[in-house]
Amino acid sequence: MQRITCKFGGSSLADAACIRAAMDIIKANPARRFIVPSAPGKRTADDKKITDLLYAWHNMARQGLDAAEPRRIIEERFNGLARDLGVSFDARPCLVEIAERAAMDETPDYMASRGEYLNGRLIAEALGATFIEPAECIRFKANGELDAGTYHALGERLAGDGLFVVPGFYGAMPNGSVKTFSRGGSDVTGAIVARASQSDLYENWTDVSGFRMADPRMVPKAKRIEQITYRELRELSYMGATVLHDEAIFPVREPGIPIHILNTKSPESPGTAIVAQREATTPVCGIAGRDGFVMFNIEKTLMNKEHGFGRKVLSIFEEHGVSWEHMPTGIDTISVIVRDDELHGKADHIIEAIQKHLEPDEVNVTNGLAIIATVGQGMNHHIGVAARLTGALAQAAINLRVIDQGSSEMNIIVGVEKQDLARAVRAIYEAFDDWR
Ligand code: ASP
């Protein structure tokens, strides 16, 4: 019999009606046996997310402020859910425990995880499912990476018959203390559960019908992506993060478990399938762009003759704890593109270090850069992809600051000024729409 892991996002579990709709989806297919819930999300645009309230509570308690307000809202949300779903589970003892340790806990992890924990308990009771405590079987190593022993430990707990609920977003450190993934991390739990339970499919239920070829806020008519490979999605991760956590593919990529992105509000829509291999029908599969990049430009005559120049440049970024995204080079120039949220005000220190250790002729920084990745495994069979792309940008009178084709020939990265981002994505989309 087929096995399916289903992860439901916070917006799909925001109130009792949503939870019932999710339960109907689960019951509609007996293969859907491993359920991973997020914490309840927003019911309306100006509503509060439970996880945000928990972080706020921790923050207030650490500063010695009275956190009665977030506590009250959380209690009311869970009481209301329990009442509407007709379950007896009572969130209050857990909230008392949170209140007791809120000011003592240095990190917010334990508190932030309680949204998933409480929702998991509620949904397990409503479904008559076995509740699995992630802190007992999802383990991190001391360096924060997932301990591979997790798959076995969790697999054993998921071996029986019936339905299982594993709350998303957290596990435990070697000393047993709760540790969360980064925000949106229930997607990662879903992938871990899919692998540990040897599921044939990982369904990720959210509030959109899969990925679109480009961000619909920039290209309203962007078509849905029917199929995309794990590799293509990695290349599009500037876009993926808003729908799926960009670390969620790692646990399932090795065993080749496909992920389906599906919409709880429209369960019949086919969504997007993320697979190991696919037939490429069009050269371009997706276009992802975002701003918030900074480019360090270093110029030094005869740089190409100096051994170790590139290594020294990168070691400066390494020493400052800044990871880099792209590195376009010329004969006497090297540029290093980084995300500005990586910099934490270190740009001046980095420039000083470059001046001191590399004695360049010139070093400067370009702010306000946007990066656009145009991705598709079919690109490497097609001649003229780059020409079409740059032609489209030229026609839209957009200045191209950087261009870089990945060696896999399945992505072309361009850098444009931040204010040109949406126009550039639109121009590229138009250039490849219906190009086969
Ligand atoms: N509730 C957590 C968050 O808001 C994790 C998740 O929903 O995936 O980030």
In CATH, what number is assigned to the domain containing residue 338?
Answer: 3.30.2130.10
Q: How confident is the model at residue 241 (pLDDT cuts 50, 70, 90)?
A: low
* 402 within some domain: yes
Same domain, 356 and 270: no
- The residue-averaged pLDDT of 343-361 equals 94
Q: How far is the CA of 33 from the centre of ligand 1 (A)?
A: 21
Mutate to test the pocket of ligand 1, among 18, 55, 114, 116 (most ligand atoms within 8 A of CB): 116
Which amino acids bring their CB within 6 angstroms of ligand 1?
10, 38-39, 49, 51, 115, 168-169, 183-187
* 281 within some domain: no
For 367-404, the pLDDT digits (tens) are 999 999 999 988 877 888 889 999 999 999 999 998 98
* 181 within some domain: yes
And the tokens for 436? 């086969």
Q: How many CA atoms lie within 13 A of 296 on its CB side?
A: 28
- The residue-averaged pLDDT of 9-16 equals 96
Same domain, 262 and 290: no
pTM: 0.90
Same domain, 388 and 261: no
Provide the pairing of β-strand 178-180 with 170-172: antiparallel
Q: Is the pLDDT of residue 217 over 70?
A: yes
Name the packing angle between helices 109-127 and 92-101 (round to 10°): 170
* 415 within some domain: yes
Same domain, 294 and 419: yes
Same domain, 84 and 209: yes
Write the residue with the smallest CA distance to atom 2 of ligand 1.
184
Q: How confident is the model at residue 433 (pLDDT cuts 50, 70, 90)?
A: confident
Predicted confidence at residue 404, as pLDDT, reads: 86
* 408 within some domain: yes
Specify burial of residue 104 (Cβ count, 10 A radius: 0-12, 13-18, 19+). exposed
For 405-414, the pLDDT digits (tens) are 877 778 999 9
Please tell me the distance from the alpha carbon of residue 379 to that of residue 382, in angstroms, as a whole number.
5
* Position 306, amino acid: E
Q: Which of 275, 301, 327 is the last residue of a domain?
A: 275
Computed over every residue of the chain, the mean pLDDT equals 94
The range of the structural domain enclosing residue 411 comes to: 286-432
SS3 386: helix
Mutate to test the pocket of ligand 1, among 36, 51, 116 (most ligand atoms within 8 A of CB): 51
* 280 within some domain: no
DSSP code per residue over 188-239: HHHHHHHHHTT-SEEEEEESSSS-BSS-TTT-TTPPBP-EEEHHHHHHTHHH
Same domain, 374 and 397: yes
Q: Is the pLDDT of residue 239 over 80?
A: no
Q: How far is the CA of 158 from the centre of ligand 1 (A)?
A: 23
Q: Which of 275, 294, 324 is the last residue of a domain?
A: 275
Same domain, 59 and 101: yes
Beta strands in 70-177 (DSSP E): 130-131, 164-165, 170-172
Same domain, 239 and 359: no
Predicted confidence at residue 93, as pLDDT, reads: 93
* Position 376, amino acid: G
Same domain, 319 and 242: no
In CATH, what number is assigned to the domain containing residue 112?
Answer: 3.40.1160.10
Same domain, 172 and 90: yes
Predicted confidence at residue 306, as pLDDT, reads: 84
Q: Is the pLDDT of residue 240 over 60?
A: no
Q: How far is CA 429 from CA 183, 223, 416, in A?
A: 30, 10, 15
Q: How confident is the model at residue 246 (pLDDT cuts 50, 70, 90)?
A: confident
* 414 within some domain: yes
Same domain, 359 and 265: no
For 308-347, the pLDDT digits (tens) are 999 999 999 999 999 999 898 888 999 999 999 989 989 9
Provide the pairing of β-strand 286-299 with 333-339: antiparallel
Percent pLDDT > 90 in the chain is: 85
Please tell me the distance from the alpha carbon of residue 6 to that of residue 8, in angstroms, as a whole number.
6
Predicted confidence at residue 180, as pLDDT, reads: 98
Predicted confidence at residue 431, as pLDDT, reads: 94
- How many domains does the chain fold into? 2
Q: How far is the CA of 115 from the centre of ligand 1 (A)?
A: 9
Residue 353: which H helix or E strand, with range? helix 347-358
Same domain, 154 and 88: yes
Q: How far is the CA of 334 from the centre of ligand 1 (A)?
A: 39
Please tell me the distance from the alpha carbon of residue 32 to that of residue 30, in angstroms, as a whole number.
5
* 104 within some domain: yes
